[in-house]
Amino acid sequence: MSDVFNNELFEAFAKASDNVYIYVCDMKTNVSRWSWAAVEYFGLESEYLVDAGNVWAQYVHPDDLDTYMDDITGVFSGRKKFHHCQYRARNAEGTYIWIECKGSLIRDAEGNPVIFAGLMTRIDGQSKYDSLTGLLTAHDMHHFDFASLSGTALLLGIDGFRKIINGYGYNAGDEILIKFSRVISDLCHSGWKAMRFSGDEFLVLAFESTPQEVTDFYEELCRKIDTLKLDDERKVGISISAGGATFPQDADTREALINKLEHSLEYAKNNRRASIVFFSKKIAEKHERGLVLREDLKQCVKNSFKGFELFFQPFINPDSGSIAGCECLLRWKGEQIKDSYPMEFIKILEDYGDIQDVGFWVMEQAIMQQAAWCDRYGELHISFNVSYQQFIDDDFEKKAVSYVEKYGANPEYIIIELTESCQVESPKELAAMFVRLRKQGFKIALDDFGTAYASMEMLKWLPVDYIKVEHSFIRELAQPGHDIDYAIVDSLLEMCRRLGYNSIIEGVENSEVADIVGELNATLLQGYHYSHPVCRKDFEKLLDEDRKLSSGQC
C-alpha cells in the first residue's frame, strides 16, 4: 500500500467532520483513499478506489459534469492552480446534493503529478455565495416562487469567453468575471437580485420591472463593460449577449424560467451576438428545430452519410474565361428537415462532434471527384472546406494521403481551404501540419481573407498557397461609394503578388463586378455571375459546355 495513505494525519482529518469528506490520490498508481464519511454518504464501493477521477464523474450531476471536468482538467494541464468548484453529486440515497470541492495537485521536481488531495464540503440547503465574485449563485433561485412574483429575468453571457481566456490567460479571465460582476451589482436597481449562474453567465432577477427597464440596464452595462481594463492596464474588448424572459408570463417555475432564459441567450449568441433577445414563440420554435436537426443529422451520419451531397461552384480562369476547377460545398437533406442551409447544419455538426466524420467524407468525395474528372476534362483545381477543429484531428493528414493514393488523384490540384481563420489556438502545430501537407503536394488556402482580425498576422506564421478574398469586399464593388472596398481588394492582390501567393476572388455576382475584378489579375474568380453551386450532373454539363467552347466547337 502506498505511503500516501498510511498516515495518521489522513485518519485524523477523516474523523474531523461529518459533512466534510476528504480524499487523497497516489497519482503514480492512480489509487485513492477516501474518508469513511465519504464512503458511507456517497455509497462508494470501498475506501480505496482505482481511477477515482472517472469513478467520481459518475456521481456528478450530468448538468454539472462539464463544470467539474473543466476544473479538474484545468488543474492537471497547469491552467489552474487549485481545483475549486461547486457542483451536485449523487449520495447513497440517490439524491443530488450541492458540494464545494477543493483540491490541490502536488508535482515532483520534473513536474509529474505525485499526489492529488482534496476535500468536499456539503453546501446543500444553504444560501450560497460564489467564492470568486461574491454574488449569490443560481442555487438562490430555489427561494423564489415565480408564479406569485412578477418581473423580468435576464441571463447575461460574455461572448467568446473561452477565447478571451486563451488570449489573456486564466487569471485575467477571473479578473474579468470579478469586474463584470461588480458592474452588474452597481447597476442593479434596489430590490433586484444578481447571481453568478455558471462560468461566464450571470443572472439578474429584476422584480417588478419591465423588459424595457431591463433593456436599459443591459445597454448601460454594455457601455460600462466596453471600457473594461485589466489591472495591468490592458484593455479587453468584451461584448455581452443577453437572453430575457418575464415571470410569471413566460415561465412560472424556476426550471421553466431557466430553460427559456437559456434558449433566448443561445439565440442571441448564435444569431446576433452582443444583443439582447427576449423569449418569444420564434425562439421556442428555433430551439425545437435545433433538437430535431441534431437528431436527424446524427441518424444520417450513422446511416453512411445519407442525405449529404457535394455541390460544386466553378473557379474561372480570368484570362481564358474557362472553368479551371471548383469549390466543393456541402449540402444536406435530412429525413425530417429538408431545408437546412450549410451555416446551420455545419454549426450543429461542429458543436456536437460530428464534423470530423462528415469532413472526412467530404474530403474523400472531393479527392475521388478530382481523379474522376481528370480523365474527362484534364486536371481541375478542386477545393474543399476544413475548419480548424477538423485540421487538428490526428488522422487528417493520414486520410488525405490515403485518399489521394486510393483514387490516384493529383494533390497538386487539391486545395484545402481553412475556414474561420481567427480561431487558431495552436498555431505552431497547424503550421507544421501545413508544411507536411504541402510537402505531399497539397495546396492550402486561407478562406474569407480580410474579415478576421488575425488574417494578416496569420500570414506571418502559416505557410499557404492561396488567399481567398472575402466576398463582402467584392459583392458591391460596382456600386457607387465602394471605393474603399476597391482599394482594399486592390492592395490585397498586390500583397499576394509580392509575397508569391495565388489569389481567388469570390462573390462575383454580376457582370459589372466581373469587369472590375477582371482587371485585378487574380489567379481565379468565383461567384454567382459564373454559376451558383450546382450538383455533380449540372457541373459536368457546365464543364462539357465550357470545353466545347474552348475547343471552338460551338
Name the residues that contact ligand C2E, by CB under 6 A: 313, 329-330, 341-343, 346, 359, 362, 384-387, 419, 447-448, 471, 475, 506-509, 527-528, 533
The span of 78-86, 334-342, 397-405, 440-448 binding Ca ion (CB under 5 A) equals 440-448
Contact, 458 vs 446, CB < 8 A?
A: yes
* Residue 387 binding partner per list ligand C2E, Ca ion, none, with a CB distance cut-off of 5 to 8 Å that depends on partner kind: ligand C2E
CB closer to ligand C2E, 262 vs 350: 350
180 residue type, one letter = F
CB closer to Ca ion, 118 vs 533: 533
Residue 417 within binding range of Ca ion, rule CB under 5 A: yes
Residue appearing with cell numbers 467564492: 131
The sign of the dihedral angle between the CA atoms of 10, 11, 17, 20 is: positive
Three-state SS for 506?
Answer: coil
Instruction: Extract the C-alpha cell encoding 431.
Output: 503550421
Residue 262 within binding range of Ca ion, rule CB under 5 A: no
Contact, 526 vs 506, CB < 8 A?
A: yes
CB closer to ligand C2E, 103 vs 507: 507
CB closer to ligand C2E, 386 vs 516: 386
Determine the Cα–Cα distance for residues 349 and 301; give it in Å rounded to an integer.
10
CB closer to ligand C2E, 90 vs 331: 331
* Residue 133 binding partner per list Ca ion, ligand C2E, none, with a CB distance cut-off of 5 to 8 Å that depends on partner kind: none
Give the residue ranges of DSSP H helices in 395-440.
396-407, 427-439
The span of 215-223, 241-249, 255-263, 413-421 binding Ca ion (CB under 5 A) equals 413-421
Q: What are phi and psi of 307, to 5 degrees?
A: 90, -15
Three-state SS for 238?
Answer: coil
CA 146 to chain centroid, in Å, comes to 33
CB closer to ligand C2E, 39 vs 362: 362
Does 248 sit behind a cis peptide bond, omega within 30 degrees of 0 on the bond before it? Answer: yes
CB closer to ligand C2E, 377 vs 528: 528
- Which parts of 442-501 interact with Ca ion (CB under 5 A)? 447
Q: How many residues bind Ca ion (CB under 5 A)?
A: 3
Q: How far is the CB of 267 from ligand C2E (least distance, A)?
A: 20
Determine the Cα–Cα distance for residues 411 and 422; give it in Å rounded to an integer.
26
Q: How far is the CB of 263 from ligand C2E (least distance, A)?
A: 24
The span of 164-172, 242-250, 379-387, 512-520 binding Ca ion (CB under 5 A) equals 379-387
* Residue 533 binding partner per list ligand C2E, Ca ion, none, with a CB distance cut-off of 5 to 8 Å that depends on partner kind: ligand C2E
Contact, 289 vs 337, CB < 8 A?
A: yes
The span of 35-43, 147-155, 293-301, 441-449 binding Ca ion (CB under 5 A) equals 441-449
CB closer to ligand C2E, 250 vs 417: 417
* Residue 53 binding partner per list ligand C2E, Ca ion, none, with a CB distance cut-off of 5 to 8 Å that depends on partner kind: none
Determine the Cα–Cα distance for residues 242 and 239; give it in Å rounded to an integer.
10
DSSP structure string for 31-83: EEEE-HHHHHHHT-S-SEEESHHHHHHTTB-GGGHHHHHHHHHHHHHTS-SEE
CB closer to ligand C2E, 222 vs 444: 444
Q: How far is the CB of 361 from ligand C2E (least distance, A)?
A: 9
* Residue 528 binding partner per list Ca ion, ligand C2E, none, with a CB distance cut-off of 5 to 8 Å that depends on partner kind: ligand C2E
Residue 200 within binding range of Ca ion, rule CB under 5 A: no
* Residue 509 binding partner per list Ca ion, ligand C2E, none, with a CB distance cut-off of 5 to 8 Å that depends on partner kind: ligand C2E
CB closer to ligand C2E, 228 vs 488: 488
348 residue type, one letter = I
Three-state SS for 383?
Answer: strand
CB closer to Ca ion, 180 vs 384: 384
Give the residue ranges of DSSP H helices in 58-201.
65-77, 161-168, 170-187
Determine the Cα–Cα distance for residues 237 and 235; give it in Å rounded to an integer.
7
CB atoms within 10 A of CB 551: 8
The span of 104-112, 251-259, 411-419, 546-554 binding Ca ion (CB under 5 A) equals 411-419
Q: How far is the CB of 307 from ligand C2E (least distance, A)?
A: 14
Query: Which residue in the shown chain puts its C-beta closest to ligand C2E?
Result: 527
Give the residue, chosen from 152, 209, 246, 385, that forms a contact with Ca ion under the rule CB under 5 A.
385
Determine the Cα–Cα distance for residues 172 and 230; give it in Å rounded to an integer.
7
Determine the Cα–Cα distance for residues 72 and 63; give it in Å rounded to an integer.
16
Q: How far is the CB of 12 from ligand C2E (least distance, A)?
A: 57
Buried b (16+ CB within 10 A) or exposed e, 21-47: bbbbbbbeeebbbbbebbbebbebeee
Three-state SS for 9?
Answer: helix
Binding residues for Ca ion (CB under 5 A): 385, 417, 447
